[in-house]
Amino acid sequence: MLPFLKKKSEKAAATQVPAWHTNFRNYAVLPDTKLVRTSFFVNGVLVLIALSLLLAFSYQEYRLYYLRSQTALAQQENEHNRPTSDRAVALFKKFQAEERKINVDAFLKGQKLVFSDFIIRLSQTKPAGIVFLSVDYRETGVSIRGYAQGISESATSAASMYEKQLKEDAELTTRFSTISMTNVTRDVQAGRLSFEILLNFGQTKPKR
């Protein structure tokens, strides 16, 4: 028969309670047991800021050096081109001085014929069967060389009609005193009639 369990005594229970004592540890002087210290992040940020400032300063210095070099090259090129520029300025001033001596209005009024306008007038009034070979502007007048296309009778008629057309042109009669056809030659093989029309200045007829 099992013996009766005896109740533990109060003395035995008291021996199981851990002993209490005062905590005299100073945490301020104890070593830091963290794996990554806070000072590591702080130092890393400071290093990055210092590198950024260094790169920015280096870039600014490079830009200043580049601008100085480009300015020096521009000044050198300017000094090299200065004599040519001075000569050009002197020639331009001389040209302006000579230009003031020229009376452009008097020159235009004394001009007997504006050749470009005359060519435009001829091209606008030229018949289809007439072909121009040359138009010469001379001191005494204008010479028109060309030919009329077609068989002999039609070519002769076309050349005569064109001569008459020029004589009846109101604008041309104020510029030229006489309009006549000369040097008429027939080219049988080519089937055309070559001619030359002379428009002389002389004493023009008064415009009515």
* Mean pLDDT along residues 183-200: 86
CATH number, domain with residue 179: 3.30.1360
Q: In the chain, pLDDT over 70 holds for what percent of residues?
A: 72
The DSSP code for 186 is: E
> Do 67 and 114 have their domain in common?
no
Query: pTM to 2 decimals?
Result: 0.44
202 has a pLDDT exceeding 80? no
Q: Is residue 60 part of a domain?
A: yes
Band the pLDDT of 96: cuts 50, 70, 90: confident
> Do 89 and 156 have their domain in common?
no
Query: How confident is the model at residue 106, as a pLDDT?
Result: 47
Give the residue numbers spanning the domain of 57. Answer: 36-102
Q: Is residue 25 part of a domain?
A: no
> Do 96 and 61 have their domain in common?
yes
Distance CA 33, CA 20 (A): 26
> For the segment 34-74, what is each residue's pLDDT rounded down to a tens digit?
555 666 677 788 889 989 999 999 999 999 999 998 988 88
> For the segment 106-148, what is each residue's pLDDT rounded down to a tens digit?
445 545 678 888 888 888 888 888 889 899 988 888 999 999 8
Q: Is residue 137 part of a domain?
A: yes
> Do 42 and 68 have their domain in common?
yes
* Mean confidence (pLDDT) of the chain: 78
Q: Is residue 40 part of a domain?
A: yes
Total structural domains in the chain? 2
> Do 127 and 186 have their domain in common?
yes
Q: Cα 15 to the chain's mean position, in Å? A: 105
* Mean pLDDT along residues 78-91: 84
Residue 149, phi then psi, degrees to nearest 5: -85, 150
C-beta of residue 173 within 8 angstroms of C-beta of residue 204: yes
27 has a pLDDT exceeding 80? no
> Do 178 and 152 have their domain in common?
yes
**Three-class DSSP category at 108:** helix
